[in-house]
Each structure stands twice: as structure tokens, then as C-alpha cells.
Amino acid sequence: MPFIPHTEDDTREMLEAIGAASLEDLFDEIPAALKIDGLDNMPDALSEMQMARLMRERAAMDGAPLCFIGAGAYEHHIPTVVWDIATRGEFYSAYTPYQAEASQGTLQTIYEYQTMMTELTGLDVSNASLYDGASALAEAALMAVRSNRAVKSKQVLLAPGVNPVYRKVAMAISGRQGLTFDYLPMNPQTGNVVFDSLDDDSSPVAVVIQQPSFLGTLEDVDRLTDWAQARGAHVIAIVNPTSLALLSAPGRWGAGGVDIACGEGQPLGIPLSSGGPYFGFMTCKQKHVRQMPGRIVGRTTDLDGNSGFALTLQAREQHIRRSKATSNICTNQGLMVTAATIYMSLLGYDGLTRVARQSHRNVARLAAGLCGITGVERAFDGPHFHEVGLRLDRPVGPVLDALAEKNILGGYDLSAEHPDLGNVVLVCATETKTDDDITVYVDALREVFASSAV
Amino acid sequence: MDALIFNKSRAGRRAFAQAPRNAVDVDIPQSLLRPDRPRLPEVSELQVVRHFTRLSQLNFSIDTQFYPLGSCTMKYNPRACNALAMLPGFANRHPLGPVSYGQGFLSCMFELQEMLMSVTGMRGVSLTPMAGAQGELAGVAMIRAYHDARGDHERTEILVPDAAHGTNPATATMCGCVVRELPTGDSGDIDFDALKGAVGPQTAGIMLTNPSTLGVFERRILDVAKVVHDAGGLLYYDGANLNAILGMVRPGDMGFDVIHMNLHKTFSTPHGGGGPGSGAVGVGERLLPFMPVPVVSREESQGRISYGWLAEDDLPQSIGRLSGFMGNAGVLLRAYIYMRLVGRDGMRRIAEYATLNANYLQARLRDAGFELAYPGRRASHEFIITLKHEARRFDMTAMDIAKALLDRNYHAPTTYFPLLVPECLLIEPTETESKETLDGFVTAMMDIAREARENGVRYKEAPYKMPVRRLDDVKAARDLDLAFRPDADEGRET
């Protein structure tokens, strides 16, 4: 019996102690009409050896393509230490640290994580993480509605560079509470907001600014933050943590700094893994802390006066407040945060800066190489971080298909979400790409363009 | 506490092997760059390894201790599930990669959907919710979408038993519903008359856990389903306790229209110190059009099978997307591997032996003098003891006994939940624990009680043997210290 230790003698003795004749007797309170004989459509058990073989075959089917897709999930080098340590049983198989005295390892790790995230984002406090970047935006918007009591509207305005999937997720999670999410006008030349056409009479409860934008561009975050706060809106930043080694921290945007920062934590040592598990991070100004969703760890003292860590501000949470909680959330992405904390400790600010700079340089080289092909040009003016939009003289889909035939994942097709922009593909090259990799891509695209197939 | 990683930092030190060596210039205007230097640690690779290895050793975990945490199903997490889910083909797969580079992964996900339908008796499964609470959100959102699609806009009330997990009412609120609490009868079943009086044209649905959080099977479940359905409402099944009935009874057969499963409980993916979870949802016929996307599809043409995605275009009435991509794919893979290792017959054995362990532990603790909250009832995979007498006679609360257990190297059961049982411990041993372990736990409980009774030992200050003594929660919430700031830390003891 897989993972069940009972011998026949154990089972007999235990049934005797209970006073039951058989295992079946233990289910005598369940109506007989409901009981089933067996499960249809359920395969027989495999041994670990058989299972390992099956999974190796399936993993091999997914191949090892040269990947230039970003669009919210980024391939970075993950030091061996990160998952060697994070999958130690003491981290991997522990539960939520409700029994603080028996969970100091997890709690101190989260406290260190919270510290690192506040340092990166330039804000005062961090929670212990949310599910992912997209759901973190939904929670941030709900939080802004709770904390911005001066504004009665539930309208959230989005800079044009906010990831369209994040908007969909925010609507699915918070739409039933009346929140709306509308885009501000985009300048198609820059991919950024058109300041001249902003409506000065609007009174949104929050304005969301993504930096770098989903289109790979860099927004004038100071000006947009000031515009939003001048009309009483709270500002929510969506940021890529790797980029914060270079780019201005949200806590310093504009005259006042943003109210809430959130984003996808995956670049900090989490494998791409088909989209999860990742983690969403969230930091905010001190004055908003009591409206923050999710777990928070605090440092306190024990009976001997020594320092220790515990979950705190639990009065916000569902297990205490039930229907009046700040959120229904009842997990953080603990293991992912453990990995990210190890990753940030290994890299440090200096290492993270090197990763960011190398990625920035690699995508610049890639874009320059690709733009050397007739029919390829930069889609947006202005600076980038580690992703660039390229406009093609033909539909993107068939080009990406042809590249995939050559074992290259050539980027993300923006034309589905932004048909108005034309045939734009978003390409990314992180520090994991060598100059040879870039040459392979450029040569492959040249071949594809030269063939009559696309 | 151990020194913080920041206290081990020295300017200029770093793990040199882990970052690109070349310093390169950036072409970004100065106005967009950060002028400040965030204070991340500056430490060596060995320091990092030692620091976090040491921190891990301060934790209790399933791999090191018995962890009978009620309603959390802390069973063994097979190591193969992790190793195989981390194979490079899976770990390195970009979520937006084409399906031609994902047939291996997608075939696992499709089969997982099928297996979850099999154990729950539901008609469709979406794997995308990232935790139990998000599965609940998906479920209640689908119930609302169903009523709305029928033009039945007045149904905004969700019935929730008073014993329910806090996420149930919190979720209903997030979906814009009004929560109406139902009382529990003396024997632990729902107060059926109260239910009949509560349903009406305003009823959107009811959220139930069965077996309930009281550790007993709701015996009149078919009557409950009839009353709610007759009133026009739908039934939501909270899968927190699915481990108790795996392969024995199916929520779909009980009359539930939608369920979420906690794959990190029933299907043994790791709890990871508080996540990631995975809260896949299953639906009956009526809710199929409303499932969250994406869902994995399978097509067969000319003898060739291929897997792909169903998205908004395929399910136009879907409640939408709940995550940036497809949810916690790596967790889903681990659950898939676990289910294949356990197989058809193993599913039923999980329920049998989880129930055997709970009833055995319940009988032994009862014989040792502990009071059961529902003595006339069969335990499911968990049960409740109440320490109200011990609290009165020896001033020994549930919290005290929990902390005393830590000193005896047992993780504490769930304390003070469900809220309606005073001074309670909710105990769930799971099927992967041996008889010897359960006997050891009984001995520890008896020792603690005897010390209190005979020797006047009080546990107000326990634990004594943990890395820290009992922590001051009030101070933690009053003097908020949520991040290390070197300036504020000067002069304080660390």
C-alpha cells in the first residue's frame, strides 16, 4: 500500500481498540446508497520506477527550445543552492507557521524576505506574498478601495502598459465588488500614456502603472504618479523585481511615491514551470498596512525577552474576521518566497544589477540584429529594459510557427491583444542568452523571411 | 533567534559564481534610474547555505515530526513527486510556449482533470485556481454566473454553517454575496429545521464541507441537497476533507454542483511553510459553461492525439481568468504524480486508513480520559477533543497543551477551531502515520495531563525547549516591526 505503513496486525489491533469489526464499519454513518464500489477511469498504481520512466518520456516531449519569450515570465539562471535548500524537508513539508515557536525558520525567512522586498521597492512594509503577479493586482485594487476613503468611486485606471491578462484577472476576482478597470489612452509611437489627452476631471480610486510596461517600454512614472495623486487617486505600481536593480523604486516615483507596489516574483529564482507556482509580492506605505491582504510576519519578543518572529495583524484575516476579512486569502506562496529569499541573498544588489544589465544589453543586441532584416523594425520609440517590441511586415503567428520548427520560441505575439498596433512581436533576451544564441535567432529569422512560406 | 542574514553582510562580499561577470552600460535615461542602493545582503555562497540550512532546522515539518493538524491533512509528501516535477522539460517550459512544445506536460494535466473527475463524480474540472480559497472564489463566482445567466438576479445569499472554515464566509463576501450562518445541531449535523427556514428565492447556494470541520459525516446530506435545490439554490462542496472519503463516496453523487479540491492536502503536494497550494474546481452539468479558463483539451484526429487549451473563445460564459497563466502548474504535476503512484485501489485505502487512524486515536484519547466533542459519533479522518474541564480545573487551555506538545516533539493539533467548540483540539493523524507514532502521541498527551493533575504543573510558559519561548503576539501587533532597518536596530539585542 503506497505510503501507508500498517501491517495486518496493526490494523487488527487498531480495529479492536475502536470496537469495530472491519474497516468498512468505520463508514457506517455514510448512507449506503452513496457508497461506490470502485473508481472508473482511474489507472492502476505505478511503482516509482515506472512513474519515473513515464515522466522522463513526457518531459522529453516538451523539448528544450531556445526561448525568447518573456511577457510576464522570465528565464533567469537559478543558482543550484536555491532549490537544494528550499526543498529541504524542513522547509518543503512544513505548514503555515501558526505555531510560531516551532516555525522560526519559516518565519525568519519571511521576515528577511519582507525586508528585501521593501528595500527593492522603496516602500515601508511587505506582506508574506500572494498567489502570483496577476492576482496581486486584484488584491492591490481592492486594498486601494478600502484605504482610499476620500474617493467614493470604484474606478481603477490602468496605464496602457498594464498587462492585459492582469486586467482580466483583476476583473474576475474583484468585479463582483463593483470595481472597474479602464485603460488610459496610449501613444502608439511610444507605447506609453498620452499625457495631453488625460481627462483632468476624472476621479479614479486608483491608477495602476506598470514599469517596465507589458510592451517593453519605460513610462514616465514620475509624471504619471503626480497626475494620479493630484486627483486623489492611490497609485499602484506593477514592477519587475529584476528591473528594480536599475530602475527607480516605486516608493520614490513622483513627489510622493506610490501607495502600493506589487508584481510577479518569478524572476527571483523560480522556474518557468508552465506558469506556476510563482508568487505575487506586495509592499505599501506604512499608513496602509492594516488594509493589506495576506499574511504578515513581525518581530517580537518571547518570555525571556529574546527576539523571535510571529504572524501578526491576524485580525485582518479570514480565520478571525470571516465575512469581514480584508481578503479570503489563506496562503502565501511560502516555498517560492523561501527560494526567492535565498536567490536575493546569493545575488545581492550587485549580482542583481549584473543580471539586469546583461539582460538589458542582450535584448538590445538581439533587437539590433533582428532589425537588420528587411521587414523588421522597432515598434516603439524610447528606452527599454529587457524586452522589445518589433513590428514585422507580415503576420506574427506564421513567423513564430516557422521559428518553432527550428527549435526557437521567437517571442510573444502582441497582435492578439493589440491588433491596433499591427504585427508586433515582443522579444526578450535575459542574461541566459549568449551572443551565439542571439546569432542563431537572427539567422533563423532571416531564413524564415527569405522563404516564401510566411 | 539566529542572526539575520543582514547582520552577516560585509560590503563588497558576494557569491561571485552566480551573476554575469562583465559590467555593461545601460542605455536608459538617468531620470528613470534609481539613485539609491537597496540594502540586500552581501554574503558568500557558503554563508547563504549555512544561514538557510540553519533556519530550516528551526522548523517542525512532516519530514521531522508528527504533525496532526486538523483540517490540514499533513501527510507524507513523496519525494519522487518533487524530483519528477522538476525534470528540465517541465521546469524550463515557458507558460506561453506553443502547445507543440508542451504535449508531455499537457497530457499530464488532461489526465489529472480526468482523474479528479473520477474521484469527485463531477462532469468537468478546471485546474487553474491557485489555492483552496481561490477555488472557493471560483465556485461561488460560478454559482452567481449561473443564476445571472438565468436572469435570476435576486439570488445573492450564501448559506454557511457556523462550523465552516473562515474562508467560506470571506469568499462569499468577495463575490458580493450576503452570508447567512446556519447553526449546528447537538450531534454535529446541520440544524435541518434551520436550513428549511433559511432557504428561499434569495438563496444563491450553500457552502458545505462533508465530512464537516467537526470531523463527522453530514448524515442527511441528500435531504440537505434536496431542500437547497428545491429552493433554486446550488450546493458548493469545500474539499478540505476529501481525504476522508476518497474512493468511498463522491461529492457529485451527494448532489453537489461545484467543488474545490485542496491538492496540497488530499493529493499530498507540499505545504511549503504556507503554500503554494492548488485549488482545482470540479463542476456538475449546470456549471460546465462557467468554468474558469484555461482548461486543457484533448483532440483525436486520424489516430493522432493532441492536447491544447480551452480559453475565453471556447467558453464564452466563463467566469474568466484567476491567474496570469494557468495556475500552479508545478503543484498540479506533483498531484498528478502522486495519484498515479497511488492508483485506483490506493485511493480507497487512503480514506480507509486515514479513518482508521483517526478513530483509533480518538478511542485511545477517550480511554485516556480526554473528552470528545461528539462522543456518539464515528470520527471521519479527524476528530475534536474539548479541554473545557481541564481549563476549569487545572487552568490548562488548548493553547497550553499545544505548546506542551511542542516540547515533547509533536506538532500541535489545530487549536480553537471550529469556533463553536470551547477549548478544542482538532486532530487529524492522516493515513501515512504508523500505530507506534499514534501511541507515542497518546502517551505524550497522557503525560501532559497527568503532570497537570498530579503535580500541579502548569504550561502557561511552555514551550521551554523550542528555539524561542512563548512569543508576545500583542507586542507583535502593537509595536510593528515588519522589516529590518539597521538604523532602528542599533542598540537593540538581536
pLDDT tens per residue, range B386-427: 999 999 999 999 999 999 999 999 999 999 999 889 999 999
Residue B21: the pLDDT is 86
Yes or no, beta carbons of A275 and B466 under 8 Å apart: no
Residue B207 burial by CB count (10 A; 0-12/13-18/19+): exposed, middle or buried? buried
Classify domain A66-75+349-450 by CATH number. 3.90.1150.10
Which of A88, A93, A285 is best to mutate for the B interface (most B CBs within 10 A)? A93
Please state the rounded mean pLDDT for residues B65-93: 97
| CATH fold for domain A80-342 | Aspartate Aminotransferase; domain 2 (3.40.640)
* Residue-range definition of the domain harbouring residue B227: 80-342
In a domain, B303, yes or no: yes
Is residue A338 within 8 A of residue B4, CB to CB? The reply is no
Please state the rounded mean pLDDT for residues A211-238: 97
Query: Which tens digits make up the pLDDT trace of A271-292?
Result: 999 999 999 999 999 999 999 9
What value does the mean pLDDT of chain B take?
95
**pLDDT > 90? residue B68:** yes
Residue B21 DSSP symbol: S
Helix (H, G, I), strand (E, B) or coil at B431: coil
Report d(CA B43, CA A350) in Å as an integer: 11
Query: Which tens digits make up the pLDDT trace of A368-389?
Result: 999 999 999 999 999 999 999 9
Strand A206-211 vs strand A234-239: parallel, antiparallel, or unpaired? parallel
Say which residues have a Cβ less than 8 Å from residue B369's Cβ, sequence separation at least 6: B446, B449
Residue A318 in contact with partner chain B when CB distance is under 8 A: yes
Residue with cell 555562497: B45
Please state the rounded mean pLDDT for residues A7-27: 98
What value does the mean pLDDT of chain A take?
96
Query: Which tens digits make up the pLDDT trace of A122-142?
Result: 999 999 999 999 999 999 999
**Nearest-Cα residue of chain A relative to residue B407:** A102
Residue B494: the pLDDT is 39
Confidence of residue B64 (pLDDT cuts 50, 70, 90): very high
The minimal CB distance from A34 to the residues B249, B352, B484 is found for: B249
Is residue B312 within 8 A of residue A172, CB to CB? The reply is no
Rounded to an integer, what is the distance from CA A333 to the centroid of its chain?
A: 11
Residue B186 burial by CB count (10 A; 0-12/13-18/19+): exposed, middle or buried? exposed
The minimal CB distance from B328 to the residues A116, A166, A276 is found for: A276
Please state the rounded mean pLDDT for residues A92-120: 97
**pLDDT > 50? residue A397:** yes
Three cell numbers, residue B289: 459553461
Yes or no, beta carbons of B341 and A115 under 8 Å apart: no
Closest approach of chain B CAs to the CA of A372, in angstroms?
Answer: 20
Q: How many CB pairs (< 8 A) connect A and B? A: 687
Mean pLDDT is lowest, of A322-331, B284-293, B435-444, for: A322-331
- Those of residues 170-229 in A touching chain B at CB distance below 8 A are 171-174, 176-178, 218, 221-222
Residue B493: the pLDDT is 41
Q: Which residues of A touch B172 (CB under 8 A)?
A: 323
Which of A113, A238, A322, A381 is best to mutate for the B interface (most B CBs within 10 A)? A322
Strand A260-264 vs strand A234-239: parallel, antiparallel, or unpaired? parallel
Report d(CA B215, CA A186) in Å as an integer: 56
- Could you tell me what percent of chain A has a pLDDT over 70? 100
* Torsion sign (Cα): B90, B95, B97, B101: positive
Do you know the residue count of chain B? 494
Residue A202: the pLDDT is 86
Confidence of residue B489 (pLDDT cuts 50, 70, 90): low
Please state the rounded mean pLDDT for residues B174-186: 93
**pLDDT > 60? residue B490:** no
Please state the rounded mean pLDDT for residues B338-361: 98
Residue B491: the pLDDT is 47
Rounded to an integer, what is the distance from CA B326 to the centroid of its chain?
A: 19
Report d(CA A336, CA A244) in Å as an integer: 19
Confidence of residue A361 (pLDDT cuts 50, 70, 90): very high
- Those of residues 64-123 in A touching chain B at CB distance below 8 A are 64-65, 67, 69, 71-73, 75, 77, 79, 81, 83, 85, 87-97, 99-106, 108-109, 111-112, 114-116, 118-120, 122
* Number of domains within chain B: 1
Please state the rounded mean pLDDT for residues B3-32: 92
- Could you tell me what percent of chain A has a pLDDT over 90? 93
Please state the rounded mean pLDDT for residues A410-426: 95
Three cell numbers, residue A127: 506582506
Residue boundaries of the structural domains of chain A: 66-75+349-450, 80-342
The pTM for the full model equals 0.97
In a domain, B238, yes or no: yes
Selection from B7, B1, B222, B259 nearest residue B116 by Cα? B259
Residue A337: the pLDDT is 98
Three cell numbers, residue B464: 521551554
Report which residue type is found at A61: M
Residue with cell 510566411: A454
Residue A326: the pLDDT is 80
Which of B9, B325, B359, B434 is best to mutate for the A interface (most A CBs within 10 A)? B325
